[in-house]
């Protein structure tokens, strides 16, 4: 069906940290949709630019970019997702969306996809799969239950301690991940010191050794009957100071950090490590992947920033075997689909991710299913902004059942 865009309007809303972010409403005859843009804290230096006002906080300029620059160009145009994305890329004209802002551009890009799916009456995940030419499937839940690093004032070295249930269905995996998280909570009550909530809704506390969080996760998984592996996001760019990695007061070279990871892999069921080294240390990624890549997912995030050119380069260099996909790192779905296609052709796994500053938009659930992603990172189900992603996955599980 040919759909003409009749309205495009942005406004500022608040994210899960209470910081302003952009929401875009888009309409055609009979349908209105909206898309909200998340915001990261431990960002890669090569991510597309998130437009902030002079105070570094507000998004009034990004709202103006949508309302005054983008809207006049797309109102009256046919809603064709890839054509609108191409128009947005050309209208911005820079490599990193520094004119319009990736937050302005992405709101319009996602809203366009939603509008077409709504007007055509097809599931959003199905529309994404058709457009990206991917095969939909249900992702594994990467539930971040203990928060550290920049998301919790470095009370623990690694940013995310994640449990990944092996269950085939979302409902079973979600139940298991929640049970494991409850067990973690009970274990932590036995420890000294305050337990607070990190940015992604997980527990945050101070522990003294590298092993301790893994001991707690291992016990908590066993108490839930097993059936899950452990993943981490080391977010090592944040740990890198003065040429070395700082963990619990000790300094590590890339080589000694590799050995520390290998010990953790041997001792615990740790099967997926994101950003094990800082974003420019490609050689450390290459050596680590060559060493452990058969048994472990070596995942790029700051390393690859959802950028098709960088993903291609890292695949060529065999620096990883999995990639985090965060649409706001690049700005349009067209570029997300390119990055995914390159990664899949290289045999990499795809893990779609939220940001630490999230909104009530569940879009990444449809994105993960549509792209046939291996995993989805959506945080702990203690904040409504994370719960909506899991609820949407549960709903898709039923829709998926209807289709297949
Ligand atoms: C991450 O690093 O994977 C993450 C989700 O955190 P942020 O959004 O702060 O980059
Ligand atoms: Mg990360």
pLDDT tens digit sequence for 272-312: 999 999 999 999 999 999 999 999 999 999 999 999 999 99
- Cβ of 301 closer than 6 Å to ligand 1, yes or no, is yes
pLDDT value of position 127 = 97
pLDDT at residue 342 is higher than 50: yes
pLDDT per residue as tens digits for the range 381-394 = 999 999 999 999 99
If we measure between CA atoms, which residue out of 133, 140, 148, 200 comes closest to residue 170?
140
235 Cβ closer than 6 Å to some ligand 1 atom = yes
Q: Report pLDDT digits (tens) over 21-70.
A: 999 999 999 999 999 999 999 999 999 999 999 999 999 999 999 999 99
Total-model pTM: 0.97
Of 281 and 153, the structure prediction assigns the larger pLDDT to 281
* Confidence band of 402 (pLDDT split at 50, 70, 90): low
Comparing 191 with 329, the larger pLDDT belongs to 329
47 Cβ inside 6 Å of ligand 1? no
* Any atom of ligand 1 within 6 Å of the Cβ of 279: no
Residue 12 has pLDDT above 70, yes or no: yes
* Architecture of domain 7-121 in this structure: 2-Layer Sandwich (3.30)
Residue 403 has pLDDT above 60, yes or no: no
Query: What secondary structure does DSSP assign to 330-356, as a single string?
Result: TS-HHHHHHHHHHHHHTT-EEEEE--S
Please state, for a pLDDT cut of 90, what percent of the chain lies above it. 96
pLDDT computed for residue 192 by the predictor:
85
Average pLDDT over residues 172-190: 96
Task: Look up tokens 């009034």; give the residue.
Answer: 60
CA-CA-CA-CA torsion for 126, 129, 132, 133, nearest 10 degrees? -130
Residue 38 CA: which ligand 1 atom is closest?
8
pLDDT of residue 44: 95
- Do 7-121 and 132-398 show the same overall fold? no
Ligand 1 mutation target, pool 106, 322, 355, 379, most atoms within 8 A of CB: 355
Q: Which fold has domain 132-398?
A: TIM Barrel (3.20.20)
Mean per-residue pLDDT, 318-332: 98
Residue entry with tokens 């098709």: 308
In this structure, the number of other CB atoms found within 10 A of the CB of residue 93 comes to 10
d(CA 385, CA 363): 11
pLDDT, residue 404, reads: 42
Q: What is the mean pLDDT of residues 332-345?
A: 98
155 known member of a binding site: no
Q: In 3-state terms, what secondary structure has residue 179?
A: helix
- Give domain limits for the chain: 7-121, 132-398
pLDDT at 401 over 70: no
Q: List the one residue out of 180, 137, 141, 138 whose CA is nearest residue 164.
A: 141
Q: Is 98 annotated as a binding residue?
A: no
The 10s digit of each residue's pLDDT in 221-261 is: 999 999 999 999 999 999 999 999 999 999 999 999 999 99
In the predicted structure, residue 151 carries a pLDDT above the cut 50: yes
Q: Is 301 helix (H, G, I), strand (E, B) or coil?
A: coil
Going by alpha carbons, the residue nearest to atom 5 of ligand 1 is 355
pLDDT score for 97: 98
Q: What is the pLDDT of residue 1?
A: 73
d(CA 262, CA 275): 15
**Containing H/E element for 144?**
strand 140-147
Which residue has 């599980």 as its token pair? 397
Q: Does 356 carry a binding-site annotation? A: yes
* Active site members: 200, 326
Q: What does residue 79 show for φ and ψ, rounded to 5 degrees?
A: -80, 95
């Amino acid at each position: 069906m040919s759909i003409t865009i009749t309205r495009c309007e942005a406004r500022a809303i608040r994210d899960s940290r209470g910081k302003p972010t952009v929401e875009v409403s888009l309409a055609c005859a009979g349908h209105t949709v909206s898309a909200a843009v998340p915001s990261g804290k431990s960002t890669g230096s090569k991510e597309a630019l998130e437009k902030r006002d002079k105070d570094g906080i507000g998004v009034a300029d990004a709202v103006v970019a949508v309302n005054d620059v983008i809207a006049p160009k797309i109102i009256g145009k046919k809603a064709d997702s890839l054509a609108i994305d191409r128009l947005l890329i050309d209208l911005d004209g820079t490599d990193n969306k520094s004119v319009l802002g990736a937050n302005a551009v992405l709101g319009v890009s996602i809203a366009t996809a939603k509008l077409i799916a709504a007007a055509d009456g097809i599931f959003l995940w199905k529309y994404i799969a058709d457009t990206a030419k991917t095969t939909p499937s249900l992702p594994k839940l990467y539930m971040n239950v203990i928060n550290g690093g920049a998301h919790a004032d470095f009370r623990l070295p690694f940013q995310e301690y994640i449990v990944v249930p092996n269950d085939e269905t979302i409902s079973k995996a979600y139940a298991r991940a929640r049970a494991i998280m409850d067990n973690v909570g009970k274990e932590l009550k036995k420890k000294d010191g305050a337990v607070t909530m990190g940015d992604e809704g997980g527990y945050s506390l101070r522990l003294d050794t590298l092993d301790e969080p893994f001991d707690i996760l291992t016990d908590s998984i066993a108490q839930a009957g097993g059936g899950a592996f452990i993943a981490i996001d080391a977010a090592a760019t944040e740990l890198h100071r003065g040429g070395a990695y700082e963990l619990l007061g000790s300094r590590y070279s890339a080589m000694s950090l590799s050995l520390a990871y290998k010990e953790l892999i041997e001792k615990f069921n740790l099967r997926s490590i994101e950003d094990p080294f800082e974003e420019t240390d490609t050689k450390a990624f290459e050596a680590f992947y060559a060493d452990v890549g058969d048994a472990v997912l070596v995942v790029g995030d700051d390393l690859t920033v959802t950028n098709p050119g960088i993903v291609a380069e890292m695949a060529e260099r065999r620096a990883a075997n999995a990639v985090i996909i965060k649409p706001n790192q690049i700005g349009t779905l067209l570029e997300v689909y390119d990055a995914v296609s390159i990664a899949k052709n290289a045999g990499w796994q795809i893990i779609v991710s939220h940001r630490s500053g999230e909104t009530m938009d569940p879009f990444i659930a449809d994105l993960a299913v549509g792209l046939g992603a291996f995993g989805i990172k959506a945080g702990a189900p203690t904040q409504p902004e994370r719960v909506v992603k899991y609820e949407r996955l549960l709903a898709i599980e039923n829709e998926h059942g209807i289709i297949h």
